[in-house]
Structure 1
Amino acid sequence: MSEPLLDVRDLRTEFKTDDGIVKAVDGVSFKVEPGQVLGIVGESGSGKSVTCLTVMGLNDSKFATSTGEVLFRGEDLLKASSSRLRTIRGDEIAMIFQDPMTSLNPVHKIGRQLAEAVVLHNDVSSKQAYARALELLKAVGIPRAERRIDDYPHQFSGGMRQRVMIAMALINNPDLIIADEPTTALDVTTQAQILALLKRIQDDFGSAVIMITHDLGVVAETADDVIVMYAARIVERGPVRSIFNEPRHPYTWGLMGSLPRLDTNLERLYQIPGQPPSLLNPPSGCRFHPRCAFAMPICRQQDPQLMPAGSDTLHEQACHLDEATKAREATKLVAMLTAGAPS
């Protein structure tokens, strides 16, 4: 088999703070194949964004320390120089940030910012770069792109600014796109448009995509494989169909159970009890055990390792529960979620 586009091995990232060392990413490993869409889900603070910022080399080296391996086409990005990372970022790997208003320079026109990304990585004239910027604005569906290219970021709506960020990420035809909560703070209609756009662009350009989100509905619509993170670690991963049809970790059950449904009269959505733990001093054993209804004494003492979920070697989970209980609870949850759903 050919080597993966991205191979992250035992990645650990720590931040120095006045209160102590925060282990924001703790032993994370995954692979991304060319053209694949990988979804990373979990609550805020689970380590999703820090994992991908580490891949991009965007953590402040004064406060952050990373170990492990981040192999991009066989090259370890953790050992790459700053100049080498600048060459890769925006060209071979691009990122769509969560808040486009703070990611775009408010004092420069959109066209200039897009053209700059072209000039930095290609031997082209300003005119050619400007033409490429206009081409991408049209590709992402900006109306009257010929006029809007000379507008400033504040003259665009939230959804249009997100489209501009997508255009900026795609402008050099990267092999890997990291989308960090690309639909946050957008209305439902605009969210659907942005997701459809990302899917179309991914099909057209053939880029691999890492989709970071807390919304399992977004993952179900876009991803091929899913990683579920909790308290800086992976607790479950596998093909999206397997994760949704046969979830095997209590935390995944909680995330799925909190999805809104149209066929229910409940006044409140289900919520996972408690709060995510502090990464300054995480719980011993399984980090989810203080919030887990199925916690056993072993959960407080022994850290579970990722193991195959039954006979499915592509689906892995880290939980001490016996397989019969996992299968029973997963079946009950899926039946509840699918009851009354349109066929």
Structure 2
Amino acid sequence: MTVGIIWALAAGLMLGLYALPEKYTKDYAFENTWALFFAIATFVIPNVAGFALVEGFVAILQAIPAGALWGMIISSFLWGIGVMMWGKAINHIGLSLGFSLFIGTIILVGSLLPFLVDGLPDTNVLITILVGIVIVLIGVVANGRAGILRQRDEGKAEVVGQGSMASGIFIAVFGGLLATGFSYANAVGRPAIHEASIAMGNAEWVTSVVVMYVIYMSGGVAIAAYFIWQLTKKGLWGQFKTPHFGNNLTMTGGMAILNYVASAAFAYAAFRLGEQGNTVGYAIYNTTSVAVAILSGLFTGEWKNASSRAKTSLYIGLIAMIAGVVVVAVGNSL
């Protein structure tokens, strides 16, 4: 179990840091940076990793039962749509509230969804894990409040675009629900993929590479459609041509590697954590990523103008999330 927790923490650490290189791209609009990142993360890296690291890669894919494969494809496609909806939610209700609602939904629903595949654990284990998830959610709410207070301190409106608060909340929560397809895809597809991968003589961790191949490629279709539409609508295709293209490719490539390795590490952590691994691993993974992202914001000066009230709410949120992860881990050890 300890090895699984370490892998889940490492995965969350990488996910929390993966977006940092975006700060160093130049002459790119938001759509250019993230379109290039997603193209590398969802199409280039999965193929390179699959064919380079997996023995009998194509045979393993062919060995996945049709039901499990389609379950992975559909849920992963929905994950891709959910990720895009989060961006739309921010236009309605702002980054802090949108992020809190989206991540809160992912942690709550995504951590419970694997129970549909794996079955419910013993009552004492289930209750302990649920208590831990509730504590984590309290932390997420506190962090969302801290973000709203910080924006007020800095004189920025929380609502940054057009649209009603009710619409933004619905988009954030519904997007979070769809994004939990990532958790379901891992839970439903991993057993068959693992069996086929081991039969081909691969190490245990290689299974995660194949799982992420199906998830990223399927989700990437939805994401690519969205960015093609946005780049065309806003006339941003020509903006890819810049003297800084090499730098931007390096930054987005680094983002893509961190993001992909984080996801693969989570899948391996879920395996090493045992029967409740998909639930426990998902909670630790996402909670750690949020905590790391917030801490990186503190270290880079994002909170230097925030009031003591905003910082207090932020610290309470961090403590609650860490405590919740500890409780979830304890529940998995019972």
The answer, yes or no, to whether TM exceeds 0.5 is: no
> Which TM-score bucket, shorter chain as reference?
under 0.3
Higher strand share: 1
Q: Pick the structure with greater CA Rg.
A: 1
Q: TM-score, normalised by structure 1?
A: 0.25
Q: TM-score, normalised by structure 2?
A: 0.26
Higher helix share: 2
